[in-house]
A and B are shown apart, each in its own frame.
Chain A
């Protein structure tokens, strides 16, 4: 355990240290402007002249004022603690102390990441369930019908090399124009993105029993459905879970991208809003929230996988 934790912690600390150092050159213009407004002496003494000077030259000339690099408003690169503060403010503080928070108004605040994360999570989970369910069904069809295998499988493989996300804005607008809006259009995109990884992984899994095993079942005179329930399905489970993990991560990306064209809440809307108004810490906080969401979703599937495989007696 110790052997694994120490290197990981070192790498994570190194990333944060690098982030703090990177804040200085990234934010130098904003830092100096803020310092100038506060009355400090800055060389060169107006923003227009400073725009002509390189970042590192500015840093060398104004060593005394650089301490403000980690507390600039609307920084180009907010420092980690600023992102942490924004995350805390827009989750706990907003809900517990805010006027529109759940404590005072009884419903989630539309300015909190919990609300936006919930919007995204709903679309992700619905889409993922639809997409992976259909994917498993299609995989079963492909394994049992040679015609389906030959006609659909090449397209399923080719479709993985296509940037499907490009369809997202169109799906949203088309569904909107025929009266479908809210969660469903985003779920459709999520479903679409998780569909093909699950099909390809599941087909591989259902085909994984080797000739010896299928021959054995044939000597038992097992029917096709027996072979499916007792051999193919159990042996496909590890493959299924691997592709489910890929699928749910893709679903989340789909839901986030699906929120870009229609600004009706969600982490994607939050990111785009932040980029319109230059609220960088809002973008970073939404990004970290999305990352945590992805990690939790993948971890949940990993946990189910471990439980299932343990009960099936598979050694990991």
Chain B
């Protein structure tokens, strides 16, 4: 006890995470006929600076789980370390038990909620996907499952599109097309987004696979982009 008092008196108060530093933006996910698909771009921003353009924010956890993360990238890396440790434990036990997407989702909820309750959150919103599962865990431990999910700016810009276009019977190609459309809109309107993306899918037969990053076509000729706002009053902003 003595040392505890001494510490309190002589050291600065301990600081917890109050804001993220290196961040990834939206992650999108949707169910389609035969599996679940997740998509995100590969940008990590340092504040408003587009600093890392090859940050892979969708990873596989074990054979049939996908994890996509927006928010603090280092926290995501640390979460991946935890999950890989858990996978290794399963392998060590070699007893027929594994951690599926649903359990991973629940586990992350427990971690995120515990961290936020200690006022020291891991600064991520996480999308967890399995062959027949799609769920979200946010930085304060809230969870939900849905047919489509979007984090970050995506929850404002992609959700309305998904609400309109998503159908449970979508084919793999349609699902991918819809996600690319959403990411394109995000790239146009979210200043922390990039047109270099990864798409991942998880199915019963094929397990979890993440694509290599690729660029999506953009078209900046729309009037709202092409017309200068210089003629307006004020400083050119809204």
The judgment on whether A and B are partners is no
Q: B-side interface residues toward A, CB under 8 Å?
A: none
